[in-house]
Structure 1
Amino acid sequence: MFKDKIILVTGGTGSWGYELVRQLLTHNPKEIRIFSRNEANQFDMKQEFNHDKKLKFIIGDIKEKDSLLDACHQVDYIYHLAALKHVPVCEDQPIEALKSNVIGTQNVIDVAMKCNVDKVIYISTDKASNPSNFYGLTKAMGEKLIIHANTLNTKTRFVCIRGGNVLGSNGSVIHVFKKQIKDTGKIGITHMNMTRFFLTLEDAIKLVFKATVESYGGETYVMKMPACKIVDLAKVIAEAANVKDVEFEILGIRPGEKIAELLLSSYESDKAILYDEEYFVILPTVPIEGLKDRYANYEPANLEDYNSSQNLMTQSEIKAMLKKGGFI
């Protein structure tokens, strides 16, 4: 699918971008363009990939359509990763989050259509489902814009992929807990009952590729992900650091934060089908030609919702997951 193709990755110097590029290179593309505004990260990434000639690094911001348009010339696929992602930052600076996550996404849509890109893959988040914070609201709006783009007069297909937390990504709670244990010997927890979805970065990107290949355009692929209590995750990390009976400091829930995250809300579950063992698919409310027929033979999801308080991993399962990801 990617052989001899040109691929643009917005926000490509983040954790997702590193792994995405690493796996894309195994498919022998013609060129991968890494578009981001972080010069230092681009320099580091270029070093890490040994100045691979297939990688082209472009300084730019998705808020600026002209620079996006230049980067998109002759591109076949766009992976849209660029966003302001930290909940407190988006709460404190909502206008900047709106510019990047909503207007920036519309810029990607406009440029993709103008350049006749084959497919745009938008990476979304569980926080877009029944959002309780500004970050989630902007990502939900981004999803709506991406899905709606399939109704426009364009050959470009647009698809959303929604996942939960990725282990070890920038700002990951794993790094935070490890540092707290090292520095203070105790761990800060916002709430003892808090749960989250988790997946290794490598597995998440594999699922992204699967949705890229199999998607029609106009649907939202929802990753099935294991979930755990944050306190259990912290205990496993502390045990791996040889800290027994770790002390917890209760910090309180931050503005916009949920006890449990949703990957499918009750409203979305009514429109979701059971795709396979790895994905649910949310079908859009807007009519998209051919999409209904594409999924006509699939069973409905039959879920009230899909949230991170369900089917929690044991501490042994969490330990196995962390070992698989190389975190302990």
Structure 2
Amino acid sequence: MNKRVYKIFILMILDLIGLYVSFMIAYILKFDALKSIPKELTVHLYKTILVMVAIKFICLIIMNLYRKLWRFAGITEMIDILIACGVGSAAVMGVLFAISRQPEFQDILIPRSILLMAFILDVIFIGGTRFSYRLFFHVSPKEIIRNQHQKRVLIYGAGQAGVMVLKELHAKANNEYAVIGFADDDLSKKNQKMHGLPVFGGEEDLIKTIAKEEIDMLVIAMPSVAENRQKEIIQIVKDLGIKINILPKVYDLINGSLSYSSIRPVQIEDLLGREQVELNNEQISAYIKDKVVLVTGGGGSIGSELCRQIVKYKPRQLIIVDIYENNAYDIQIELKRSHPDQALFVAIASVRDEERIKQIFETFSPEVVFHAAAHKHVPLMEDSPEEAIKNNVFGTYNIANAANIYKAKKMVLISTDKAVNPTNVMGASKRLCEMVIQAFANSESKTEFAAVRFGNVLGSNGSVIPLFKKQIHEGGPITVTHPEIIRYFMTIPEAAQLVIQAGGLAKGGEIFVLDMGDPVKIDMLARDLIRLSGLKPEVDIKIEYTGLRPGEKLFEELLMSEEGLTSTENQKIFIARPMDWTLEALCDGLTVLKEALKNREAIVPVIKALVPTFKTPEEINKPFLKK
């Protein structure tokens, strides 16, 4: 007999005894003593007591009272006991009434007061055995010793989600955590008790509460509030050296489907606190549903997320183009698993290969094209400028030219803030890509060409965040190029969603500029990552300043001075005024640029001639370094 079955067996024995004793005591209370019970009722008692006990016992089984974890019994379990005992008493009354209707059993009539008292005693006995078990568990020497090593937890949010977190921590955390209480912004809840735990004040009292109660971990259980509010709470406690966990914004919390795995550590994305993107799904669906959609660089961080978002709108076919087969294979397997009915084709190809690109367009006739393939590592492209030009500039030209020849309805280029007043070859190459798109848009093409410009993407390949996390995992140091360097950030899903939305807004020639929110100091970002890892900057993990890399500037811009900015129906998407590039003039410039690829020394001067805003990092950084 295993331990679980043994416990159930003991509980059943105790319940049978309790149910029997309840009837006996009910009779005693009614008549003061067993000897005072009328003779006919004594006969009834001994004739029917076993039947009544059996009926109630069967009801306890049917009501699943032997399938619960009584170690964590609470008000819900008490209600279950009341219902089960009530059903049992009602069943007994119904059976006795049915029996008394038979002529041979007409003399069997038990006073209702006895049945009522027996019901009350049932609840006391059955509830007592279960809650005494929970009490024993909390006061046993073994449990007291264990509790001394538990992490003390404060739950921020005394609502439905907070209560669910409490239950999950009790049930699934193997006694690792001891919940001390709740914190809540609602002043009416302050100094009240929930599930036997105190409710402390909100933001104003948070630091004092954490210090006084010696809190080790804060769980933010407010999935329905704005992310900026969660960010404010995280900012208050991030320097206190405690662990911070959070419930993600999951809407199925309403249905009570929280799991222990939903409670996750705070990530840097939470600290940046960007609001959820609101999309015009009808507008997106109108140009993607039942269309053939092609994504270049579809295995990369942005490209793969574009594919994940696109399939939600049910294109007729999705074509993924990528030169790196491993990434392409990963997203292919993922999409086949998540969307088995989606028509999907993966083409291994380089955007540099003009003939291969034309072959793909001729075969599949894509109607919508997202061009995400690019070389984007600034220092690497400074060392290999010809590769940046071949892949970014001429790769974009090949895609745009094929879209034009094979009459794709839309083409959207993924650009970067580094294209604005570029100080490096990579940024200048992306500015040339924007010029390619605008030149095709200004031609007689049937395709609607557009570009979407945004800053750094959290967690993307080559992003600073994965590098910092790796350095923290290795024990440091974290390397920051300059203490004053500033960048804009957004999450990968947010960037992909806004790119797709911008595609729906495109009419031809626009450079869409995404709202990147507030700029972030990379130095502060590194320090926050260290704190979120439960460590202290400069104590546990050192920070080293390595100096600006070749081609790097202190801050990135999203708009050039000559560009106007027009708002759109989406508050996070703006339009820069299109430039008047002609396709003929651009092709002449690209011919010169292609010739310059034969001589590395000639590449940068030709780029500067084509991109007048291309400046040296010193020209851009010098005024700010003096401050």
Class of the TM-score when normalised by the shorter of the 2 chains: 0.7 to 0.9
Q: Does 1:278 align with 2:569?
A: no
How many Å apart are 1:138 and its aligned residue? 0.4
Question: What amino acid is the match of 1:195?
Answer: I
The structure, 1 or 2, with the larger RCO (C-alpha pairs under 8 Å, 6+ apart) is 1
Question: What amino acid is the match of 1:272?
Answer: L
Name the counterpart of 1:256: 551
How many Å apart are 1:150 and its aligned residue? 1.1
Question: What amino acid is the match of 1:278?
Answer: K
Alpha-carbon distance in 2 for matches of 1:40, 1:280? 35
Q: Say which structure is richer in helix.
A: 2
Equivalent residues in 2 for 1:222-233 (5 A)? Answer: 222-226=513-517, 227-233=519-525
Alpha-carbon distance in 2 for matches of 1:170, 1:285? 31
How many Å apart are 1:179 and its aligned residue? 0.6
**Alignment partner of 2:360 out of 66, 71, 83:** 71
Q: Does 1:200 align with 2:491?
A: yes
Name the counterpart of 2:461: 170
Alpha-carbon distance in 2 for matches of 1:215, 1:45? 27
How many Å apart are 1:157 and its aligned residue? 1.0
**Alignment partner of 2:378 out of 87, 93, 103:** 87
Alpha-carbon distance in 2 for matches of 1:266, 1:84? 26
Question: What amino acid is the match of 1:125?
Answer: T
Name the counterpart of 1:189: 480
Length-normalised TM-score, structure 1: 0.84
Question: What amino acid is the match of 1:156?
Answer: T
Q: Deviations over 1:269-300 (max 9, x none)?
A: xx222335212211113189xxxxxxxxxxxx
How many Å apart are 1:102 and its aligned residue? 0.7
Alpha-carbon distance in 2 for matches of 1:140, 1:245? 38
Alpha-carbon distance in 2 for matches of 1:263, 1:117? 28
How many Å apart are 1:165 and its aligned residue? 0.5
**Alignment partner of 1:5 out of 251, 272, 291:** 291
Q: Does 1:62 align with 2:351?
A: yes
Contact 1:33 1:71 in 2 (8 A): no
Contact 1:221 1:282 in 2 (8 A): yes
Question: What amino acid is the match of 2:467?
Answer: V
Contact 2:565 2:575 in 1 (8 A): yes
The Cα RMSD (Å) is: 1.6
Question: What amino acid is the match of 2:560?
Answer: S
Contact 1:8 1:71 in 2 (8 A): no
Contact 1:9 1:78 in 2 (8 A): yes
Contact 2:565 2:577 in 1 (8 A): yes
Alpha-carbon distance in 2 for matches of 1:242, 1:4? 48
Q: Deviations over 1:53-107 (max 9, x none)?
A: 5221001011111111122232100000111111111111111111111111111
Q: How many residues align?
A: 287
**Alignment partner of 2:437 out of 121, 143, 146:** 146
**Alignment partner of 1:242 out of 534, 537, 545:** 534
Contact 1:35 1:71 in 2 (8 A): no
Q: Does 1:104 align with 2:399?
A: no
How many Å apart are 1:163 and its aligned residue? 0.4
Alpha-carbon distance in 1 for matches of 2:506, 2:308? 22
Runs (4+) of structure 1 exceeding 3 A deviation are 50-53
Question: What amino acid is the match of 2:326?
Answer: A
Q: Does 1:115 align with 2:411?
A: no
Alpha-carbon distance in 2 for matches of 1:153, 1:266? 28
Alpha-carbon distance in 1 for matches of 2:428, 2:323? 23
Question: What amino acid is the match of 1:36?
Answer: D
Question: What amino acid is the match of 1:34?
Answer: I
Alpha-carbon distance in 2 for matches of 1:130, 1:20? 27
Alpha-carbon distance in 2 for matches of 1:279, 1:42? 29
Length-normalised TM-score, structure 2: 0.45
Alpha-carbon distance in 2 for matches of 1:245, 1:198? 22
Q: Does 1:49 align with 2:335?
A: yes
Question: What amino acid is the match of 1:197?
Answer: Y
Q: Structure 1 vs Structure 2: percent identity of aligned residues?
A: 39
